Amino acid sequence: MTLERYGFQSGDIILPGIEMPVRLGKGFYFRNYGIVPDLRGKTLQIAQELNMAPPTIDLRQEAYYGASARHLGIIKRGDRGSAVFVKEGLDMGTVIFDYGHESVHAVRNLGLEDQFAGFLRKEGFTLNPFETYSSEEQIAHVGGVLSLHKAGMLWFFSHPEVDPIREDLMASRS
């Protein structure tokens, strides 16, 4: 049984936000659940649908960071999947940033790092986030900033942890 039964896609997909086309090989899957009313509730619903133990959710960390989106890495019967979703009620800049950010978490989970680095070069950036940053969140922020750039909304989102990443990415334009 594959994750396709649960609405996940394999083969040719486009990662939201960063708009990166990828071809997922056998046993690799992705699903964009879209905008949802409740991150925690959706996380628990997905775990229940897949008959998996619910992931540990650090609600204190979510409260501190103001979680507005989520990526779930899923391993089920040898298949590897990524699911992304964004909380409803957000401004457009945050939604665009979050989709790009969570898509880069999916890039990591699905082993697409080389493809993402190549995609950045194709988009005109020399920055390789996997060589530049050691933090998973900093690497994912590159996807959020790229999404804002592609949407023409680069300056509509600001956060103390994201602003230096934006400066690094924009300084690497070739």
Q: How does pLDDT run across 23-38, given as a tens digit for each residue? A: 999 999 999 999 999 8
Can you tell me whether residue 77 is helix, strand or coil? coil
Full domain range(s) for residue 146: 3-171
- Confidence class for position 65, pLDDT limits 50, 70, 90: very low
Phi, psi of 155 (to 5 degrees): -100, 10
Q: Please state, in angstroms and rounded to a whole number, the distance separating the CA atoms of residues 103 and 166.
A: 17
Name the least confident of 59-68, 72-81, 83-92, 148-157: 59-68
pLDDT digits (tens, 9 = 90+) for 76-97: 888 999 999 999 999 999 999 9
Determine the pLDDT at residue 174: 86
Q: Which two tokens stand for residue 25?
A: 């090989």
Task: Name the β-bridge partners of 34.
Answer: 85
pLDDT digits (tens, 9 = 90+) for 110-138: 999 999 999 999 999 999 999 999 999 99
Determine the pLDDT at residue 39: 87
Average pLDDT over residues 67-75: 84
Q: Please state, in angstroms and rounded to a whole number, the distance separating the CA atoms of residues 25 and 5.
A: 17
Can you tell me whether residue 125 is helix, strand or coil? strand
The domain tally of the chain equals 1
CA neighbor of 26 nearest in space, from 81, 102, 105:
81
Average pLDDT over residues 1-8: 85
Q: Please state, in angstroms and rounded to a whole number, the distance separating the CA atoms of residues 116 and 107.
A: 7
Averaged confidence pLDDT in the chain: 90
Residues ≥6 apart with Cβ < 8 Å to 53:
47
